[in-house]
């Protein structure tokens, strides 16, 4: 899947919030860097409204960096498990304010645990 990066970033953010509703009220600015062949695209993602602009996010609390083709794959797959695996393996690099990083990790972990319990019951 390829397309306008701003649209894809907003779609990815909305997909994550749809799968982890506890992140919906989180007000945060994220710096997203997509590295392509020979260029680097920098975007500012403001949550919770998933507003994406093509500018440096000087006020960002979280910084994400990844290759554009990996980003396209993750957006197409649209699963929290795929994003989590990408973070764990280093395909997507995240840095920023430690409290935000821990909070997001804990919320995602709890949501994945709930999802596994729901599947086990059926």
Tens of pLDDT along 15-56? Answer: 999 999 999 999 999 999 999 888 999 999 999 999 999 999
Is 33 within the bounds of a domain?
yes
Q: With beta carbons less than 8 A apart as the criterion, state whether 70 and 34 touch.
A: no
Is 66 within the bounds of a domain?
yes
Is 52 in a helix, a strand, or coil? strand
Apex 22 CA angle, 96 and 51, nearest 5: 60
Is 67 within the bounds of a domain?
yes
Is 71 within the bounds of a domain?
yes
Residue located via tokens 């602009």? 53
CATH number at residue 74: 3.30.1050.10
Is 121 within the bounds of a domain?
no
Query: Binning pLDDT at 50, 70 and 90, where does residue 1 land?
Result: very low
Is 122 within the bounds of a domain?
no
Residue located via tokens 């980003």? 71
* The pair of three-digit structure tokens given for residue 112, joined into one six-digit string: 């994945």
Is 41 within the bounds of a domain?
yes
Which range of residues forms the domain containing residue 10? 5-116
Residue 52: count other Cβ atoms within 10 Å of its Cβ: 22
Average the pLDDT over 85-91 and give the result.
92
Average the pLDDT over 78-93 and give the result.
91
Query: Which pTM was predicted?
Result: 0.85
Is 65 within the bounds of a domain?
yes
pLDDT of res. 14? 94
Tell me phi and psi for residue 34, to 5 degrees: -110, 120
Q: 49 — alpha (psi -120 to 50), left (phi > 0) or beta?
A: alpha
- The total number of structural domains that make up the chain: 1
């Amino acid at each position: 899947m390829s397309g306008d990066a701003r649209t894809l970033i907003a779609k990815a953010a909305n997909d994550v919030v749809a799968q982890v509703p506890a992140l919906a009220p989180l007000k945060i600015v994220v710096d997203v860097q997509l590295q392509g062949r020979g260029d680097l695209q920098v975007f500012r993602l403001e949550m919770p409204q998933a507003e994406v602009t093509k500018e440096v996010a000087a006020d960002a609390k979280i910084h994400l960096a990844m290759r554009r083709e990996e980003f396209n794959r993750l957006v197409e797959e649209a699963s929290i498990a795929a994003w989590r695996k990408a973070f764990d393996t280093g395909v997507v690099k995240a840095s920023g304010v430690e409290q935000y990083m821990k909070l997001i990790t804990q919320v995602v972990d709890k949501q994945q645990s709930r999802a596994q319990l729901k599947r086990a019951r059926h």
